[in-house]
Structure 1
Amino acid sequence: MRIIITGGGTGGHLFPGIALATALQQKYPGCEIMFVGTQRQLDKKTLAGFNFQQESIACMGLKGMGLKHRIKSLLSLPVAVLESWKIIQRFQPDLVFGVGGYVTGPVLLAARLRSVPTCIHEQNSIPGLANRMISHFVSRIFVSIPGEYPFPEQKTVVSGNPVRQEILAAAECRQQQAGSGKNDSGEADSPMTLLIMGGSLGAHRINMLMLDVAAQLDDQQKKAVQLIHQTGTADEETVRDGYAVAGVKAEVRAFFTDMASLYSQADLVLARAGATSLAELSVMGLPAVLIPYPYAADDHQAKNAEYYVAGGGAVMYRESELDADLLGKILSQLLGDIDKLKQMALAMKNMGQPEATQRILDSCMDLIDNSMVIKR
């Protein structure tokens, strides 16, 4: 069996694809996976170390760009479809699965023209332009969050968001520890751990706010908390130096690859509201303070966050309403209220969908089986 997974540009697009790909390889030994993505370094870095074939095509996005860029993007589309056609012709996939991003359009169109079964997965509560356009001709559409989508109802499945195997394992371990009471047996003076992350590319505004918060902490507060901070490349050195000057214990990196380990250490998470991150936090049962990216297409991060806020697992603040004083107060109150954190953690866990990968995998196999019957 051969599967193409297409998408990229951010970790949020790629991680669900990786979760599905590794599950396929585990369940069907010998299954060949090819990722067709963008030419960005982030895509290559995220996929490094996995046993997947990789190809990239040259294409550009449409939304949020100027007229000149849009014209250039439209003119490049036939070439991108032709590149995709050739890749599909060589690889001969049984199914092509899109996980989001403008790169998915040409690949899925080429697959449809070659009568290969196609699926898309929409992680966000408001679909991106590529998935809205592609939805008219794909075989099946998977969505992460219950809601109102502009997709054909008869081929849309509320599946949840695939979460990587190592995070599912970490979530199971965390659940067992909670059941045995181990999480309540630590030392009274042990510091709480705050995980800060702004997505795979970092979040400059959150980074700078946290430096200001750190500078205001008194000695007692510094002893009560330790930070793990994913900054993105641009701010790594500035944030690390800032925490050092403030005397705050912090592990700072541009990008962490072992998120399962970080989630296992965290008591509270400060983050953007990307759908994949939220799916991972909910599976782990981690309470969160969410600051949606204000320039996300159609403000979809705020809509993502609202679902988890309504469920009781998170609180949300707009970036424009926050300063260091308010953010410091919010974090201090939550980290100092163990009962509140436990309530939020339970609510977050109840919204998690650890079975999402298996649900999607089963549905994809039905499509492949039906396609083989038709071909006979």
Structure 2
Amino acid sequence: MTKTILLTAGGTGGHLFPAEALATELVRRGWTVDLATDERADKYGARFPARDVHIIASETLRSRSPLALLRTLLSLARGTLQAFGVIRRIRPAVVVGFGGYPTFPPMMAARLARVPSILHEANAVMGRANRMLARGVDAVATSVPIAGLDAGLAAKVRETGNPVRPMVIEAARLAYPPLDGAGPFHLLVFGGSQGARFFSELMPEALALMPADKRARLRLVQQCRPEDLDRVRKQLETLGVHAELAAFFTDLPMRLAGAHLILCRSGASSVSELAVIGRPSILVPLPHALDQDQSANARVLEAVGGAWPIDQKNLTPQALADRLGSLMDDPETLAAAARAAAGQGKADAVARLADLVEQVAAQSKT
């Protein structure tokens, strides 16, 4: 049996991070791993443990106009031919896709080349690209149960959890930080791997509405887009808020572990890391998503008492100021939410998914 696995993922952190976790585990087990992705991986995949990274052409359907549809189809067709050539050259035992349109060409190429394949669905609802690909794969790995699948597709599903990076497992060993009603309060704010302007605009306005004594207690760590950093920094300095701002935190899992409360989007990787590390959160699903996947993800933690989802349209500066103020005065509620979130964590997800990859590889040779 060939000892090569081809992983394919969109070039954002939400797709690459679980793929990176699986790659690390497969390499530990003696496999060689290649990655097929798009050009965005330069920022988030620098430490990806792959022998080779193959940049594959792809395109998201951005509108329903005939010209846009043709452009998308041509790009996907070109990418499929590129991926087919990669597969013929490296001869992987299994191709594993982690979602996003950049996975479409390699997964289609695997089907054309009759190479076994696995899709991983990180969200609580199946994304459009994965729905189109699911019927042609050997197995579908999910992070949480997904309702509404037909019998044929449900028979392929294996609930493995969403793999998290080794640094997340390391951070999960740290206990929830002690908190009293007068000491420093560590608040982490981030908007997913590409940031969120909404939080950069919201936070200074919300903190301005809080009492000065509560602002003095805050130890804020916030991710901002590069173009927003100077403006937000000046606003927070004017308010007297102790803040550390950056466009991207490479040590985000440790930042999560050190926080008393997190304010963030509810992408699949963020929700999985919150659960594995066990930290309470205010979750703000990305609005206008066609699949409403982030809303579904947030409900998973809300159902067990580990998070407080708030729709973006309802999260006014005053609403956030009030919620932060009340939680800062309620250490017991925060600690209970941390325990509840941890109860949903699947720290062994990467081992479960690696086991599934090896099972599919072995079955293909029997």
TM-score by length of 2: 0.94
Match of 1:35 in 2: 35
C-alpha separation in 1, matches of 2:304 and 2:63: 32
Kept in 1, the 8 Å contact 2:257–2:279? The answer is: no
Aligned AA (1:104):
T
Q: 1:7 aligns with which of 3, 6, 9?
A: 9
Shift of 1:166: 1.1
Residues 62 and 68 in structure 2, CA contact (< 8 A), matched pair in contact too = no
Matching residue of 1:54: 53
Identical aligned residues as a percent: 35
What whole-Å deviation, never above 9, does each CA across 1:90-130 have from its counterpart, x for those lacking one?
A: 22211111001101111011112212110011111121111
Alpha-carbon deviations, 1:157-179, whole Å to 9, x = none? 111111111111110x22xx46x
Q: Say if 2:241 is the partner of 1:268.
A: no
Q: Which residue pairs with 1:195 in the alignment? A: 188
**Given that residues 132 and 150 in structure 1 are in contact (C-alpha distance below 8 angstroms), is that contact kept between their aligned partners in structure 2?**
no
| Gaps in structure 2 of 5+ consecutive residues | none
Q: Deviations over 1:26-58 (max 9, x none)?
A: 232xx2211111122xx1111113332211111
Counterpart AA for 2:20: I
> How do 1:1-376 residues align onto structure 2 when only pairs under 5 Å count?
1-28=3-30, 31-40=31-40, 43-52=41-50, 53-62=52-61, 66-150=65-149, 152-171=153-172, 173-174=173-174, 177=175, 183-184=177-178, 189-373=182-366
Deviation string for 1:283-317 (max 9, x for gaps)?
01100101111022322211111121111100111
Query: What's the TM-score once normalised by structure 1's chain length?
Result: 0.92
Q: 1:157 to 1:15 in 2, by over 3 A?
A: same
For residues 29 and 297 of structure 2, what CA distance do their matches in structure 1 show? 31
Structure 1 counterpart of 2:22, which letter? L
> What secondary structure sits across from 2:245 in the alignment?
strand
| Greater helix share, structure number | 1
Secondary structure in 2 aligned to 1:136? helix
Task: Give the secondary structure class of the aligned counterpart of 2:364.
Answer: helix
Query: Per-residue deviation at 1:189?
Result: 4.2
Q: What is the CA distance between 1:194 and its match in structure 2? A: 0.6
Does the 8 Å contact 2:95/2:115 carry over to 1?
Answer: yes
Given that 1:227 and 1:250 are in contact with CA atoms closer than 8 Å, whether structure 2 keeps it comes out as yes
In structure 2, give the amino acid aligned to 1:371.
Answer: S
Task: Report how far residue 257 of structure 1 moved.
Answer: 1.0
Task: Work out the CA distance in 2 between the residues paired with 1:214 and 1:4.
Answer: 47
Partner amino acid for 1:166? Answer: M
Over the aligned positions, Cα root-mean-square deviation in angstroms equals 1.7
Name the SS for the 1:62 alignment partner.
coil
Number of residue pairs matched? 361
Q: Which moved more, 1:268-277 or 1:108-117?
A: 108-117
Preserved CA contact (<8 Å) 1:128 1:297: no
